[in-house]
Every structure is written in structure tokens, then in C-alpha cells.
Structure 1
Amino acid sequence: MLRVFSGHRDAIQTCDFSLDAHCLATGFWDHTVRVWNLQSDIQDRILEGHRGNVTCVCFSTLGMLASGSWDRSVWIWDPRSGMLVFLLKGHVCWVKCMSFSGNGLLLATAGYSETVKVWNCEMGECLETLEVTIF
């Protein structure tokens, strides 16, 4: 065992390593995201704002961190400062997974409502909504 991560107030739902492996982000049912510093004893950061369980987190190649929640929102954070960069709204049900494009400029988020949204991470706007068609 290398380290014990303590301080959780509820169940851990999701986690993701930063690309440089210096940080680990975790999402909780207590509506928070934690960014754990894996390289030093620098204080771990708690990101607050979601109003529902955090179901997915994802680091981009540009170092940004996205989090999705039962509150139907996606938050784009600067994990170094803990500041919110964009609040993305538009899902009609909870956000269940997400993935950044290779260049970090686009984010795809999947909602429980059988839709995928593609977001521009430079402008913070939805470029396209894809709906699943069941035949």
C-alpha cells in the first residue's frame, strides 16, 4: 500500500489519474470532487458545487478536470487552483460518463437519457446532441 486516502464522507463513485500521474481525482456521493496530490504532501483540494452525487470525473490532456453528476450538470475545473472554468448544462437526466478528445478541446458526455453531448471546452458550449435510436 502506497497511501490511504481518508476524509470521504460517503461512497466513492469514480476516479481518474491526471495524465502526468501527479494527481488522482475522485467523485463522491457527498456531491464533491477531491483532487489528491500524489507527488508531495501539498494539501489535497476539495471541489464543491454539484448538487447531486458525482458519477464521473475525467482529466484532459490540457490539465483540466471535468466532473458529471446526478444534478445533470458538467463542471470543468482548473484542478490546480480549484476554480470553476465552465458550468455546462443541458442534460435532462444524470450524467453517467464522459471523455475528452485527444487534444483536450472537446468533451463528450453521456446522459442516462440516451443522449451524448459534445462540448467545446474553449467556449463552454454544446456543439451537438446525439440521440440513441433503438430499432
Structure 2
Amino acid sequence: MAAAAAFAQVNRSETADAAILGAPVTAQKIAQGNELYAQNCASCHGPDMEGQPDWKRPLKNGRMPAPPHDETGHTWHHSDSQLFALTKQGVSGVVPGYESDMPAFEGILTDAEIRATLAYIKSTWPKRQYEYQAKVSDREGPEE
């Protein structure tokens, strides 16, 4: 189901001349992001981006479960630069003192691979979430 949604969104992304942090989004990047997501993210965030069960409740260790990356979660509330930083540095690297199981992918994924993964995630969102997140990102401007 997620793959079908991704390919349905590719045309919208390309016609909207979409970019993530200044890098154009293409069908090839979305396909690469799909593979990277499956290899690096799906084990926690779910193969269909559904997140872990009870993701709004702390685990016994006090940390929060992995949230969904689909429209039911809050990923689409964050700008591209915030999502990029959270992925590259891990949550605790961006939010000091916040305990999280989200690892930093710096040294594991290149910046281009992080952008491709984010492009894939975004390509699966319904139009409303996609457009909202694009506006959030536009207000912030590209990160240099």
C-alpha cells in the first residue's frame, strides 16, 4: 500500500518542482528512499510507516516509542531542515536532554541518502499533509 501511495505522489512532487533542502525530488530519489527506509527505518517506524504501538505513551524505560511517519503521526508538522537534523543527529542530538531510541544516522547515511529517505516518506502523504509540510518548510527556507 505504501509503495502505491509513493508512486501516486511522484507525479505531484515532480510537477510541483519539489525539493528537499534545495535538492530536487525525482522518482529515482523516491525509489532510493523507499529502499533506504526499508533498510534503516522500518524496523522501528514500521514497514507502512505506522509507528510502534501506543506511540504516544512512554515505554517502561521512559522513552517514547517510534512515531508513525504516515498522516496519523506528527512528522509532517516539521520542516525539512528539522526532519533532516533529527535524522542525521538523532533526537537527543537536536533536543538536548531528551531521551530517545532514535539513533543518529550521521556516518551511516550520507546527506543525499537522508534527503532521499525523507523524499520517500513525504511522497506517501495525502495531499493535505504534504502541502502543510511544504508550507512549514517554505517559511523556514532552505538550510545552508
TM bucket normalised to smaller: under 0.3
TM-score with structure 2 setting the length: 0.24
Higher relative contact order (CA 8 A, sep 6+): 2
TM-score with structure 1 setting the length: 0.25
Higher helix share: 2
